[in-house]
A and B are shown apart, each in its own frame.
Chain A
Amino acid sequence: MTYAATQVYAPTPSVPGELKVIQDATCTFCGCVCDDIELTVKDDHIIEAKRACVLGKAWFLNHSIEDRPSCMVDGKPATLEHGYDRAAQILTHGKYPIVYGLSDSPCEAQRVAVSIVDWIKGTIDTTTSVCHGPSGMAFQGVGEVTCSLGEVANRGDLIMFWGSNPAESHPRHFTKYSLMPKGMFLPNGRKDRTCVLVDVRKTKSAKAADIFIQIKPKRDFEALWTLRALAKGIELDPELVQRETGVEFSVWTDLMDRMKACKFGVIFFGMGLTMTRGKHANSEALLALTRDMNEHTRFVAKPNRGHGNVTGADNVVSWRTGYPFGVNHSRGYPRFNPGEYTTSDTLANREADCGMTIACDPMANFSQPAREHLASIPFIALDTKETPTTRAAAVAFTVATYGINTGGTVYRMDDVPIPLRPAFPSPHPSDYDVLTEIEERVKVILGVTHK
C-alpha cells in the first residue's frame, strides 16, 4: 500500500504565487496536538499559522522544503535505492539491532518500524523511555485513573500540575484544555477552577496558579506520600514532613482539604517526576494518590506528553508487541524490560551493534557513553532536518514533515487519535515510504519474500 492510500487527508500541490488556506490543520510539535490551526501557504511555505502558540508558530513557519539530498550514505549524496539497500544490509547483518525514536512519526510509519524489528529479531524502543517511560512502568504497577482532555475542560475544578511547566512546554494547555475553557459544569471557566502548581522552582507556569508549592529538590516521593497519608487519615509528624519536603505541614493539609472538597480533580504530571531520583516510584506515588482520592471524590491523572505523537508510539508499540517501549524480539517473541532493552542502556552498555533512529536525536540528548557507542556502530537515521544524529549516521534520510507535508494519524496526549491535514507536498519521501522500502528489502535478504 502506498502512503497516500493510508491517509485521510493528502497534501495538494501549491499553485505558484497563489495563497492556499488549510483549515483545522494539526500541530504536531507537542502532545497537545492542537487541531484547530488555520494555515496560509504560499509557494510551499507556510506564511501564517492562526491560533498556533509560540512553539506551534516556530514549528509551522520554519518548515519549508529542506534543500538537502533525500539520502546520504557515508556522508555523501546517494540515490534513495542505494540508501534503502544499504539500510537493509546494516539491519540484517547485526547481532543486536536496535530501532529507536518514533515519537515524531505518524502511527502508520510506527507500525512499519515495529514490523521491521519483528523480522530482524531486534529491539524497539521509543523516546518514551527517556520521557514518561517510568510513568509507563508505573501504569503497569498501579493502573491509571484517567480521562480525556475534553472531560478536563468540561469538569475539572481542581487542576494540579506536578513537575510540569506547560507555560513553556505546552503553551495552549491552559487556554484550550485545563484552565480557561468554559465547560459544561464550569460556566465561568477560570473563575470556577483552582490551579495548584507543585515544583522545585518557580517556573513561568506559577503565574497561572492560585497556589504554588515549592518543594525541596528530589523530594517528590516524600511529598506525594505525605498526601497519600493525609488522604487516608494517617497521623504525621509535622516537623518531619516539613524537614523532608521543605514545605510547612499546614500547606499540605490545606491542599488535601481542597483535593477532598473538589468535584473533579486532575493532576497533570511531567518529567520533574520521571527524570528525578525515584523515577517510576515517583510516578507510582502520584498514580496511587490519584487512585486513593477516588474514595473521597472523582480524581484523575494524566502525564503531560512532549512530542506530537509520543502517545501514538506507546499505543502502536503496545498493540503490536503487548508492551509500550523497550521491547526485545531476539527470541522470536516480545520481551519487555526497561533498564535492559531501553536504548539508553543498550547503547551505554555497548550491546547494540547496529541500529536505526527515526525522528529523534540521541547524539544530542543521550549520555556521553551512549553517544560514543552509537557513533561507533553503523546506523540509519530518518529526520526532517539535519541533526547531530543524521551527521553521524551511515545512512541518513531527509524525510517529509508529518502534519505539514504528509497526513496520517497521531494520538493526542490523552490517547485520542487525530488525523493530520498536511499543507503542501514535499519532494522528500515520508518516513512511512522509507521504512516500507527498507522492510521490503529486509524481507528479501531474510528470504521471506523474493524480488
Chain B
Amino acid sequence: MPETFTLIPGRTTDQGCGVSEGKFKAKYQTAVSSLQVAPGDMERLGLSEGDRVRLTGEEGQSVEVCITAAKKDELPEGLLFIAYGDISSQLMTGDTHGSGMPTSKGMEVTMELLQKATS
C-alpha cells in the first residue's frame, strides 16, 4: 500500500563534486539517484538498504529509485531526501504558481516498494 511522504530535494557534497567531474560519470549519477529514508520509516515499512521503490507525484508523474537509510536523526520520519538531479526534477510539475519557480522542495509523493534488494 503506497504511503504519502514529503520529499525534500537538496544539495549534497557528492552531488556538487560530481557536477565538476561530469554529469555522466559515476559520482554524480550515484549521488542523484539515491533516495534517503528515515531509519524509523524503513523499519516500520520493512524496507532495507538498496530496495527499489516507486515515487509518484501529485500529477501522477513517477520515478523508480533505490533507497538508503538516512544518517541518525538527520531526517525526521515522514520526510524523504534526494540530491537535486534528474530524478527530483522529474517529480516537479510544470506549474510555477505565477512565481517562475516550480515547487522543488516539500513535494507530496507516494512511495511503494517495487523490488527487494538482492543480498
Contacts and interface: CB of A to CB of B under 8 A. Distances in A.
A211 to B, nearest CB: 16
A133 B79 contact: no
A58 interface: yes
B34 interface: no
10 cross-chain pairs, A with B, having the tightest CB-CB distances, nearest first: A342-B100, A348-B94, A339-B98, A369-B94, A58-B17, A338-B100, A275-B104, A275-B105, A129-B100, A58-B20
B6 interface: yes
Interface in B61-119: 61, 73-76, 79, 81, 84-86, 89-90, 92-106
Given A279-B99, A326-B100, A338-B100, A367 B76 contact: no
A391 B78 CA distance: 37
Interface string A119-156: 00000010001100110010000000000000000000
Interface in A167-209: 168-169, 171, 200-203
Interface stretch (A4-12, A17-25, A382-390): A382-390
B42 interface: no
Interface residues of B, number: 42
Nearest to B89: A365
Contact of A62 (B11, B21, B100): B21
B16 A217 contact: no
Interface in A37-66: 54-55, 58-59, 62-63
A214 interface: yes
B11 A165 contact: yes
B17 A55 contact: yes
Nearest to A372: B94
Contacts of A171: 13
B106 A218 contact: yes
A277 B13 contact: no
B22 to A, nearest CB: 6
B89 A367 contact: yes
Interface in B14-54: 16-24
A325 interface: yes
Interface of B: 6, 8, 10-13, 16-24, 61, 73-76, 79, 81, 84-86, 89-90, 92-106
A63 B103 CA distance: 32
A200 B79 contact: yes
B79 A217 contact: yes
Contacts of A203: 10, 74
A272 interface: yes
A251 interface: no
22 contacts: A54-B16, A55-B13, A134-B99, A165-B10, A168-B12, A171-B13, A202-B73, A202-B75, A271-B10, A271-B104, A276-B106, A277-B106, A279-B101, A280-B99, A325-B100, A339-B96, A342-B101, A367-B89, A367-B90, A367-B92, A368-B92, A385-B23
B96 A342 contact: yes
A217 B1 CA distance: 23
B105 to A, nearest CB: 4
Q: Which of A30, A54, A165, A217 has the most CB of B within 10 A?
A: A217
